[in-house]
Structure 1
Amino acid sequence: MGAERVVFVHGSGSFGAAAWPRQHGLSIDFDCLYVRRHGFSATEEPVGTDHDRDQEIIADALGGGGGGGGHVVAHSQGAVAAMMLAVDRPDLVRTLTLVEPACFSLTAELPATAAHIALMEPLFAERHAMSDDDILRTFVRRVSDADARTPATTDARRDAARLRLQSPPWEAPLSIVPGVPTLVLTGGWEPLYEEVAAYLAGTGAIHRTAPGGHRPHDTAEGDAFIRSFLRTSRQQAAA
């Protein structure tokens, strides 16, 4: 019997294996695949969000055409398609690990998420009339009170264009994943993500916190939580 498959799903910014530098060593124990979501490319022009296509990409990586299945580890907006797939294809998804999940449609009526939506919704409503540079600067200022520089490289300009094309994550058609063991990992820095994590914990997920901002999986502690969850889940399934 071969090693169990683990599919890693990136958020915004880096994609593929580059988005998961701490987790490369898991390939010793698991069959790891680092997917590239729809519209993310180092050479092609960005396109808009397509949750259905992202689900297909994850399902294919899990062996959706011929059985298989495995574990899914997803970060930020990548967690949206991962959850959607787990609902539609529970036969494929053995466990879910959601890192700082941007699953805001689940918590849209709760205080931190509602405040975030009120802040960002006007920006998303106007984004098609704005330049890539303008939306990048406005987005960064609203989420962090920092100033974003004008993109100076081709990759940075492509990232800014991609940001403008993304659909609001709070509009994603999400529902609770029944029966799939789930770990939620947050950085403990932003009430918005803690609110989502608390909601998911209330439905049966395990919630762990590792200081590391929006990328807690880049820390030794966060990486250890992911590895422990995957290995424990494998042992429990074997038993």
Structure 2
Amino acid sequence: MSYAVENWGSGADRIVLVHGSLGVGAAAFGEQKPLADTFALAVMTRRGYGDTAPIDAVDVLRDAADVIELLGDGAHLVGTSMGGIVAMNAAGRRPDLVRSLTVIEPPAFALASDLAPVRRVAEAMRKHWATADRTKRHAFVTGFLAALEMNMPMPDPLPPPVNAAAGVLVTERPWSVDAPVGAVADARFPKLVVAGGWSEAFDGISGRLADLFNVECHCLQGAGHAVQKVGEPFNALLRRHIASA
């Protein structure tokens, strides 16, 4: 199995949801299940995660091709964290299939490398990947979160889903991923950028991205990096965004 999809709801308008690096598939978007009262949600599990086949390394462009396949003849697209990078790559390649785009704190560090907090976090991640023992997953995840300046203690041993996701995380290079921001900015579909207000670095990245898209950066506090987990405030914002499409 290359990638997996869990479907919620049967509305006429479809939403494709793309997860990030540690919260996977439906676990990343459980708070969005109420949207199934109106929409048909396709919750993606990217290659290498969950019960999909093992991979050698994360490939954002390959994941983007999978998202394009999921878009079918057109859908709204939501990506959180690294899923936001994947979503932007899909949207840049096939803007004709995207009804609207929502990105939640994507790690587009290069976009805001002139900002000191962004440079600081990117450098901390580079150092962590260069020095950490990738076979010791709890230590690796703990160091990753510390590099992100995220206060999120992890149990030892890691919960099985997080432990499995960590095996994929070690193959990423989060500080160096690219997204076709120009192509997305030029596309006619509505764009929404959401930040969590917990991180100077991610606030800086999200604000810069919103400026490039010529849209407002919305801040929803209370769930840290996984902003969608605030639940109804995010869902209400997404409903309004989709209604504008």
Structure 2 length-normalised TM: 0.83
Q: In terms of mean alpha carbon deviation, does 161-170 or 139-148 score higher?
A: 139-148
Matched letter for residue 135 of structure 1: F
Which of 1 and 2 has greater Rg? 1
Match of 1:88 in 2: 93
- One of 150, 153, 161 as aligned partner of 2:167: 161
Measured against aligned partners, the alpha-carbon deviations of 1:67-120 in whole angstroms (never above 9, x if no partner) come to x11110110110001111111111111211011222222222322211111211
Measured against aligned partners, the alpha-carbon deviations of 1:141-168 in whole angstroms (never above 9, x if no partner) come to 3333665443255434323322212222
Change (3 A) 1:146 1:216: closer
Matches of 2:158 and 2:26 in 1, distance apart? Answer: 24
Q: Where does 1:141-180 land on structure 2 (aligned, <5 Å)?
A: 141-142=146-147, 143-144=149-150, 148-176=154-182, 177=184, 178-179=186-187, 180=189
- One of 207, 215, 224 as aligned partner of 2:226: 215
Matches of 1:206 and 1:81 in 2, distance apart? Answer: 21
Match of 2:136 in 1: 131
Report the CA distance between 1:16 and its aligned residue: 2.1
Matches of 2:52 and 2:68 in 1, distance apart? Answer: 24
Match of 1:105 in 2: 110
Runs of 5+ consecutive residues of structure 1 not aligned to the other structure:
234-239
Measured against aligned partners, the alpha-carbon deviations of 1:33-88 in whole angstroms (never above 9, x if no partner) come to 1111121124754642111221121111101xxxx111101101100011111111
Matches of 1:217 and 1:135 in 2, distance apart? Answer: 25
Percent identity between matched residues is 29
Q: In terms of mean alpha carbon deviation, does 131-140 or 190-199 score higher?
A: 131-140
Aligned residues between the structures: 228
- One of 186, 211, 216 as aligned partner of 1:206: 216
SS of corresponding position for 2:102:
strand
Matched letter for residue 68 of structure 2: A
Is this contact kept in 2: 1:76–1:102, CA < 8 A?
A: yes
Matches of 1:159 and 1:144 in 2, distance apart? Answer: 18
1:23 maps to 2:32: yes
Match of 1:75 in 2: 80
SS of corresponding position for 1:32:
strand
Is this contact kept in 2: 1:9–1:73, CA < 8 A?
A: yes
Matched letter for residue 234 of structure 2: G
Change (3 A) 1:22 1:43: same
Matched letter for residue 191 of structure 1: E
Change (3 A) 1:146 1:184: closer
Matched letter for residue 35 of structure 1: M
Runs of 5+ consecutive residues of structure 2 not aligned to the other structure:
1-10
1:232 maps to 2:237: no
SS of corresponding position for 1:165:
coil
